[in-house]
Every structure is written in C-alpha cells, then in structure tokens.
Amino acid sequence: MESETPVLEVLASGAGISIQDSGRSGWKRFGIAPGGAMDLESARRANLLVGNDAGAPVLELLFTGAKFLVLTSSELAIAGAEVECDWPTWRNFRVEAGGEISFGPLRAGVWSYLAIRGGFAAPRWFGSASANPRAGFGETVQPGTRLACENRLPPEEISSRFVPELVREEYGQTPVLPVWRGPEWDGFNDEARGKFLEQTWRISAQSDRAGYRLEGIALESRLRMPSAPVAVGAIQVPPSGHPIVLLRDGPTVGGYPRLAILESSSISRFTQCAPGTDVRFALTE
C-alpha cells in the first residue's frame, strides 16, 4: 500500500474501520467464512455511485466517529447507516486535497461505506480484500493509516449520480423480515416456533461481524446434533434459547439447531439493526 500514492489518511477511526468487498467464495470446505461487507447492498451502491465495479474494496465504518484527510483530489461516495456527515450521503462528491471528511451523530443503522473512484488498494486473501482479523486477513486501518487507490481512473464523465430516497431502506423502524423454515424447524415444539414468530426481538450488544444475538423470551431448544453446515443468515438456537443470526464472518459449521434461515435479500437490511433496536420475523411461503 505504501508504494502507491496515498489518497486518504485516517485521522480518527471511530468505532472501527475495515476494508471490505463482496467477499470470498469456494473456501468454506476449509473453514473459511465468506466475509464481505455486512450491508452488501449499501457497499454495492457506494461503489456504483463512483463508477466502480459493485464489488470493489470500500471502507466499512462501524457506527460513527471516523475522520479522514483527503491527500489527493478524489471522487467519493458514502452509503449505509443514517449518519451525519459534512459531505452528502447517497451521492458522489469530489473533495480537493486538504479537505476533511468527518462523521457525526448516528441516527439509525450500524454500518457506513465510503467508496472511492478506482477502489481502495488492498491485498487479497482467497480472492477478496475483506478484512477478517481472526483469520489473519487484512491490514489494520487506524489513525495514521494512509490508503491508496487501486486503479487510477480518469475523472467521471457523469458528474452527478445519486440514490433516490424512495429506494433507500429506512433504518429507524422495526423491520419485519422474511425467514424460511430451517432444517431443524420441525424439531422445535409449537410453542417455541410460535414465540419465535410472534415476539419482537431485541439485538444484543454481543453482536459482531460473525453474528447478531437476539434477546427476548427464550425458546426451548433440546435438540442435540453433530456439527452441521451453516450459512450467512442461518438462525441457530443455542441451549440458552436466545437465537443467533449468523453473518459474514461467522462459522462454517455449527452444532446448534437451525430454526430458520433469513431470506438472502433481507440480510443487508438486518445487519443495519443496531444493538438495542428491535426486529421481527415472518415466515415466507
């Protein structure tokens, strides 16, 4: 990264910054999680706003507090959480060298994405730049880190792109997300299945890129089974009775019964449910 011309310097990392793209596939048989941006949909939109491939490396910002210094005039875009920023979100914008970008109060959501025209330069592990510190993938992004562009692209010909408000997700409201019956659905009793679908769950503070824990009235879970395959969106119920929704850096196999599976197209929305906020589930047909 150091050998290329730096375009952006991190002044403050807020709750955390990592480089993410659309993740890696084909390696789960060796215990490698798919990784990738938690809210893939917002990361994709941020990239498209600056004319990148949808899966180019972006910066994933947790909550808020990040601050950057622009070292080389650049075209950027921000998408994701509803966060205050001194630059417009959901549209491309140009910052001249010496300009700063800082993130203020967070209104709703969890993850924000900062994309740069040309994508951020980053090494790949199994074909993806997605950071996963536990697996040893990705370099630390912290105050002082200087980031470079992967591809030097000429300035955009289309001067202005934006995502209309109409098609953006609302993160302030309690979502009702569609789920499929999981392989062990029939192994839970009627009461447990009813409680799962009828109650409003709260996202636990013990949530991260591997999975979000749900707090509420515990579900009775007596099933014991040998470790079985899981995937992003699988909803496991450990003996505590509090479900865990597995996400991008989650395990590849697990020994807890899989009650339900979150509809793939709702995973991005789910990841924007902040700890302490509520979510409900409804069975798809």
Partner 1 sequence: MDDVAVSRFGPAALLVEFADKVDRESLARCRGLMGSFEENRLDGLVDVTPAYCSLLLEFDRPEHASNQVDRVAQLLKSARARPVEEAPLFEIPVCYDGPDLEEFARRNSLSVPNVIELHTAPVYSVFLIGFSPGFPYLGPLDVRLNAPRLENPRPRVPAGSVAIGGEHTGIYSIASPGGWWLLGRTDAEIFSTKKALDDGSAEAFLLRQGDSVKFLPVEEFSP
Phi, psi of 191 (to 5 degrees): -65, -45
Q: How far is the CB of 137 from partner 1 (least distance, A)?
A: 7
**How far is it, in rounded angstroms, from Cα 165 to Cα 90?**
9
Cβ closest to partner 1, residue 33 vs residue 214: 33
* Candidate segments 41-49, 111-119, 132-140, 154-162, binder of partner 1 by CB under 8 A: 132-140
Please tell me whether residue 30 adopts helix, strand or coil conformation: helix
Q: Does 127 bind partner 1 (CB under 8 A)?
A: yes
Please tell me whether residue 59 adopts helix, strand or coil conformation: strand
Q: Does 278 bind partner 1 (CB under 8 A)?
A: no
**How far is it, in rounded angstroms, from Cα 209 to Cα 247?**
6
Q: Does 151 bind partner 1 (CB under 8 A)?
A: no
First to last CA, the chain: 48
**How far is it, in rounded angstroms, from Cα 43 to Cα 59?**
9
Q: Does 206 bind partner 1 (CB under 8 A)?
A: no
Q: Is the distance from CB of 19 to CB of 25 less than 8 angstroms? A: no
Contact string (CB under 8 A) for partner 1, positions 41-80, x = contact: ----------------------------------------
Cβ closest to partner 1, residue 58 vs residue 261: 261
**How far is it, in rounded angstroms, from Cα 141 to Cα 133?**
11
Among 2, 29, 144, 166, binds partner 1 (CB under 8 A): 29
Q: How far is the CB of 158 from partner 1 (least distance, A)?
A: 29
- Furthest CA-CA distance within the chain: 61
Q: Does 163 bind partner 1 (CB under 8 A)?
A: no
Residues in binding contact with partner 1, number by CB under 8 A: 37
Q: Does 253 bind partner 1 (CB under 8 A)?
A: yes
Among 155, 194, 229, 239, binds partner 1 (CB under 8 A): 229
- The DSSP secondary structure of 129-191, one letter per residue, reads ---BGGGTBS----TT-EEEBSS--PPPSS---B--GGGSPP-SS--EEEEEEPTTGGGS-HH
**How far is it, in rounded angstroms, from Cα 224 to Cα 257?**
7
Q: Which helix H or strand E contains 198, and what residues bound it?
A: helix 190-198
* Candidate segments 2-10, 197-205, 220-228, 237-245, binder of partner 1 by CB under 8 A: 220-228
Q: Does 26 bind partner 1 (CB under 8 A)?
A: yes
Q: Does 231 bind partner 1 (CB under 8 A)?
A: yes
Q: How far is the CB of 230 from partner 1 (least distance, A)?
A: 8
Q: Does 36 bind partner 1 (CB under 8 A)?
A: no
**How far is it, in rounded angstroms, from Cα 255 to Cα 133?**
24
Q: Does 194 bind partner 1 (CB under 8 A)?
A: no
Among 98, 105, 136, 164, binds partner 1 (CB under 8 A): 136
Q: How far is the CB of 124 from partner 1 (least distance, A)?
A: 5
Cβ closest to partner 1, residue 90 vs residue 270: 270
